[in-house]
A and B are shown apart, each in its own frame.
Chain A
Amino acid sequence: MWWPQDGGTISAQDINQVISTINGSQLTNPGPMFNISTQVVTTTVATVTFSSVPAWRHIFLTWQTRCTNNSNNGNLYAQLNGNSTNNYYSQGLYTNAATAVADTHLAQPKFYLADVPAALNQSIISGSGWALFSNWSSTTFDMQFVSNGFCPLDNASNRSFIRSGAYNVGTGPYTSLTLTTDGNFDGTQSGGSIFTLSGSM
């Protein structure tokens, strides 16, 4: 990718490259995956909301976080457009040492996106992962996601997991994604918690 130097001198070649980029295929055919927003949490917060999410083809969420719940682990939840009706369905599959565990959450008020470490782990521990909302801009199909992540735990087996889910109350448009957890998101550990929303057109 061509990249102009911040503060540097702009040459005629740079301008031509910009114009050809805009006019050409790099941004519109179909273009790379752009960052929409990154939120870094350095305190404890109850929700992380991405508002004004554009009607792009695919939306991709990446996170590293932990929660304040007084337990080994909690969940990372997501709601679409702030809707809390019991129309979210999630299915998970995760490791528990030598046992594979499947869990399901039917007719819930939110997606179960991921496992995250909670307060009983040492403070440096946090969990990470990604979730893909494929065809976010569709007005034909229900919204679905697939996620994958890792949840390290001090007092139990770590969890490597994959999850998927569906929201069955019709179609979008979807303009916001609200993330919650059990208790609050804890961003007080070194480096804080981070949530990045990306998308492609």
Chain B
Amino acid sequence: MTLTGITPPAFTTITQGAVGGAGDVNQMIQSLNGTALYGPGPGWVQIATQTLGSTTSTVWFSGSFPVSIYNNFAFNHLALVYKARSSAAATTANLYLRPDFIQTATYDTDSLVGTGGTVTSSETNTQTSMTVGKIAAASSTASMYGVGWVVMPNWYAQNCLNACALNGTAFTNAGNATSANVFGGFSFDFSAITGGLGNRSALWILTDGNFVSGSSFTIYGSM
């Protein structure tokens, strides 16, 4: 089998079962480490995933990223993919992020929410968490969720942290009660940044009420 679309690596074709030379192996390892296979790192890879087995107030990713699991490479960019539902007594609930669990009133959020024939633009500033989406909640039809993804470019650097998100929420199965949403927000905890905090290492995900069992969250990273 010939690798297509990858240039380099310098090695050409490896026949299954054949014994490769040391140069082949080194080249392959370099490729998989990201040295030869274009640019830094392997691209977007899955870091961790959680599917909740019970009602949970806060989903927490920490410890194993961004630096530990890939030869101490840091991930420049993070992405969160989720499918979640809230127990809050409402039709929909918000999805929130707290990088490094910073909960000072240092988050702004701006959103476009399209429901039916209406688009609503809104801005909420100086909040204690960053709102990045909407999910179905307790007053919505059972089994309805919200799905979406959130990209956090330059997560690792000492810089202001932005998040941009596209998501959709279904809250009845009647076919006319869904929403399509664009969310964006940022953390302006600049004192922490200028003080050299940076190097964020944990991400908390919250909602109004709790996340119900079955909600799932996956973190991807790019170097």
Q: How many angstroms from the CA of A158 to the CA of B16 in the assembled complex?
A: 55
Q: A4-B32, A93-B112 are in contact. Are A22 and B158 (CB under 8 A)?
A: no
Evaluate contact between B77 and A62: CB separation under 8 angstroms.
Answer: yes
Evaluate contact between A152 and B188: CB separation under 8 angstroms.
Answer: yes
B residues near A3, Cβ cutoff 8 Å: 32-33, 69-71
Q: Does A73 contact B (CB under 8 A)?
A: no
Q: How many angstroms from the CA of A99 to the CA of B108 in the assembled complex?
A: 16
**Of the candidates A5, A64, A157, which one forms a contact with B153 in the assembled complex, judged by CB atoms under 8 Å apart?**
A64
Evaluate contact between B38 and A38: CB separation under 8 angstroms.
Answer: no
Q: Does B164 contact A (CB under 8 A)?
A: yes
Interface size on A, residues (CB 8 A): 68
Q: How many angstroms from the CA of A35 to the CA of B108 in the assembled complex?
A: 30
Closest residue of chain B to A190 (Cβ to Cβ) is B158
B residues near A149, Cβ cutoff 8 Å: 162, 164, 184
Evaluate contact between A158 and B108: CB separation under 8 angstroms.
Answer: yes
Evaluate contact between B121 and A95: CB separation under 8 angstroms.
Answer: yes
Of the candidate stretches B40-48, B57-65, B135-143, the one touching chain A is: B40-48
Q: How many angstroms from the CA of A32 to the CA of B41 in the assembled complex?
A: 12
Q: Does A21 contact B (CB under 8 A)?
A: yes
Proximity bits, B11-27, A CB within 8 Å = 1, else 0: 00010100010000100
B residues near A35, Cβ cutoff 8 Å: 34, 38-43, 222-223
A129 CB to nearest chain B CB (Å): 5
Evaluate contact between B43 and A198: CB separation under 8 angstroms.
Answer: yes
B residues near A199, Cβ cutoff 8 Å: 43
Proximity bits, B79-118, A CB within 8 Å = 1, else 0: 0000000000000000000000000000011111000000
B residues near A127, Cβ cutoff 8 Å: 162
A residues near B71, Cβ cutoff 8 Å: 3, 5-6
Q: Does A100 contact B (CB under 8 A)?
A: yes
Q: What band does the interface of chain B fall in when counting residues whose beta carbon is under 8 Å from A?
A: 35 or more
Evaluate contact between B5 and A191: CB separation under 8 angstroms.
Answer: no
Q: Does A128 contact B (CB under 8 A)?
A: yes
Q: A22-B3, A124-B193 are in contact. Are A198 and B159 (CB under 8 A)?
A: no
Of the candidate stretches A80-88, A159-167, A174-182, the one touching chain B is: A159-167
Q: Does A201 contact B (CB under 8 A)?
A: yes
Evaluate contact between B38 and A28: CB separation under 8 angstroms.
Answer: no
Closest residue of chain B to A18 (Cβ to Cβ) is B28
Query: A residues touching B (Cβ–Cβ < 8 Å)?
Result: 1-6, 10, 14-15, 18-19, 21-23, 27-28, 32-38, 54-56, 60, 62-64, 93-101, 122, 124-130, 148-152, 157-162, 189-192, 194, 196-199, 201
Could you list 5 further interchain pairs (A-B, Cβ under 8 angstroms) beyond the known A19-B20, A64-B157, A100-B119?
A: A95-B112, A100-B121, A158-B110, A159-B110, A161-B182
Query: B residues touching A (Cβ–Cβ < 8 Å)?
Result: 1, 3-7, 14, 16, 20, 25, 28-29, 32-34, 37-46, 69-71, 76-77, 108-112, 119-123, 151-154, 157-160, 162-166, 182-186, 188, 190, 193-194, 198, 222-223
Q: What are some 19 contacts across the A-B interface (CB < 8 A)?
A: A3-B33, A4-B32, A10-B29, A15-B20, A19-B16, A28-B4, A32-B45, A93-B112, A100-B112, A148-B164, A148-B166, A150-B164, A158-B110, A158-B123, A160-B111, A191-B157, A192-B159, A194-B76, A196-B76
